[in-house]
Structure 1
Amino acid sequence: MAGSAKKKRTRAASRKHRPRGNPQKPHVSGDPRVAAKATFGDWVGAARLRTLPLAITPVLIGTGAAHLVDHLFHWVLALACLVVAAALQIGVNYANDYSDGIRGTDDFRVGPARLTAARKAKPRTVLVVACVFFAIAAVAGLAIAVRTQQWWLLAVGAVCIVAAWFYTGGKRPYGYAGLGELFVFVFFGLVATLGTTWVQVQYLPQEAWFGAVGAGLLACGVLLANNLRDIPQDRAAGKRTLSVLIGKTATQVVYTVFVLAAFAIACVLAQFYPIAWLTLLALLAAVPALLIVWLYRSPQELVLALALTSLTSVAYGAFLFWAFVG
């Protein structure tokens, strides 16, 4: 009887300390397949604001170049150009989140998690947000066309939106065929800078062309730093970026050439606009980025290189703006 009572007390103690709930059903909070709903911070992160300087730089340079032609500032048109550039930049970031996410390209990304791939938001919702920003860019572009009576700019704007979508969208995205850098150079360098100058003064001085090339090279540098980080994941996903096609070392070389070439252009401009020598101060961000690109030990370090290259770009644009208007 004593032994039986002892066994009952042991079973009771065991029940007292047993966790509640079904022991056969695992707790899913740590399950990677289950994601919490996206917060406001997640949506801001998906906008990838660290790339936003790439939209600011060409507007600064283009506005400065316009001032060389007409010493009156056209602030309304300049701000409208900034809205177009920024909205397109954010829109393409959300569009990439959507397109790469539904393809599975971002399932094993090294950088910050994306909304679609992390299942924090429905793909359709991310797509709608991308379209909203494209619409904002379109409305601002329409306002520019109305103000300047340059109606052909509507066609340019339409091409920009189409290019933004097909970077990673559609059946044959050009970003998956090694053409990303080319289109970034054209649209975030030439088109954005020269377009900003044109809508303000309907003329393109050679300074605008030099500045546009510099802005485009630095924009390409940001993309190269990003794609260098993702070479293994992109290769596995079948995303044939330029970095995947030419390899790590060649990407490091091309990145270095692009960044230094932008500063070489600034040095040429400094022969005529001495304040442009101050663009060399942007090397305070560019040199650490170059060192990271060449000496990094883990892909995560390239996230900082990307941010530093983006910071280099906006500092470069600000100093050229000062040089042109000073």
Structure 2
Amino acid sequence: METVQTNSFKAWVLAARPKTLTAATIPVMAGCALAYIYGHFQILPATLCLLFAFLMQIDSNLINDLFDFLKGSDREDRLGPERACAQGWITIKAMKVGIAVTTGLAAITGLCLLYFGGWEMIPVGIACLLFAFLYTTGPYPLAYHGWGDVLVLVFFGFVPVGCTYYVMAHNWNMSVTMASLACGLVIDTLLMVNNFRDRKQDAVSGKRTLVVRFGARAGLILYFLLGLLACWCCFYFILLGKLFAVVLPQIYLLLHILTTVKMAKINHGKELNRILGETSRNMFIFGLLLALGLIL
């Protein structure tokens, strides 16, 4: 087990889970690529969108770390990467301060985006901040009742792709819808492999994910279908004459199939963290290829 000094800089870096920031990057890249092809790209709002996405991802990670620990979900039999509160890397008091600071910084970044996106961005920003907490907190924690996958589609698909495009273009079109759906689906593979790995522990904790509800086989099939459907969404761009946006993301599908096969063979245990790493890599490649395909 890694030795980390309590409340140290290293502890905060680990708690922020930088490897998960790919999930924040992908939809913003797609939104920026769409803004570029329609002639609306601007560097400053694009940068602010990326910063807001990063801060919200880190905020969500810190909130989940704290409240999963308080709920007793992060037990000794945890299979995933170590959590900061559970390991004693960060104290509960310090984590609450960290969450307050990160939430505040995200709110300030969101306010700066109002200059570009207009006042209609306020409800979206409030929803982002609110659902970051509702995911694991409150009387009805959404992650514990099987709503995680829907939230990923909304807050890692439609919200970041759509809003990144909107603050620059001030409109919405079918291309934004399909890119949002593609990003949301591919990023949900990351949640699915997490839930597949943790299915036994989640069942004990009362966390009713789709994998807990329908079983490991269903989780494996859903994992594969999410990646497949994300690739199929890209076929829409042939209508725009964007052949590269159709073809390039299909390269991801080969990697996704190989990772799915490995996931089926491993089936359970900590070794599935390898699949978590591969999934993160695969979905980043998808996002990169989609953005590149749109721009070319």
| TM-score class normalised by the smaller sequence | over 0.9
Structure 1 residues 233, 36: closer, same or farther in 2, change over 3 A? Answer: farther
Q: Distance in 2 between matches of 1:139 and 1:287?
A: 41
Deviation at 1:325, TM superposition (A): 2.0
Q: Is the CA contact 1:80–1:140 (under 8 Å) kept in the aligned structure 2?
A: yes
Alignment: residue pair count: 292
Q: In the TM superposition, what whole-angstrom CA distance separates every residue of 1:261-316 from its partner, at most 9, and x where no partner exists?
A: 11112244256312121222324542332122211154222222222222222222
1:28 is aligned to none
Structure 2 residue identity aligned to 1:117? A
Is 1:187 the equivalent of 2:150?
Answer: no
User: Structure 2: any 5+ residue segments left out of the alignment?
Assistant: none
SS of the residue 1:136 aligns to: helix
**Could you give the per-residue CA deviations for residues 172-217 of structure 1, whole angstroms, max 9, x where no partner exists?**
2010001111111111111111111111101122211111001000
Q: Identify the match of residue 306 of structure 1 among 276, 287, 294.
A: 276
**Structure number with bigger Rg:** 1
Counterpart in 2 of 1:325? 295
Q: 1:40: how far off?
A: 3.2
Superposed, 1:1-326 pairs within 5 Å as 37=6, 39-70=8-39, 72-107=40-75, 108-148=77-117, 150-270=118-238, 272-276=241-245, 277-283=247-253, 285-326=255-296
296-305 vs 238-247, which moves further: 296-305
Q: TM-score, normalised by structure 2?
A: 0.92
Quick one: structure 1 residues 114 and 247, their matched pair in 2 at CA, closer, same or farther if it must change by over 3 Å? same
Q: Aligned equivalents of 2:232 and 2:43: distance in 1?
A: 29
Structure 1 residues 292 and 129, CA gap change in structure 2 (3 angstroms): farther
Counterpart of 2:237, as a letter, is L
CA distance in 1, matches of 2:139, 2:176: 36
| Counterpart Cα distance in 2 of 1:270 and 1:54 | 25
* Alpha-carbon shift at residue 140 of structure 1 (Å): 1.0
Identity of aligned residues (%): 30
Deviation of 1:55 (Å):
0.6
Q: Greater CA deviation, 269-278 or 82-91?
A: 269-278
Match of 1:14 in 2: none
Q: Quick one: distance in 1 between partners of 2:219 and 2:109? A: 36
TM (norm. structure 1) is: 0.84
> Could you say if the C-alpha distance between residues 300 and 39 of structure 1 is closer, same or farther in structure 2, counting changes exceeding 3 Å?
farther
93 and 102 in structure 1: CA distance in 2 versus 1, 3 angstrom threshold: same
Counterpart CA distance in 2 for 1:112 and 1:40 is 18
Distance (Å, rounded) in 2 between the aligned partners of 1:311 and 1:266: 19
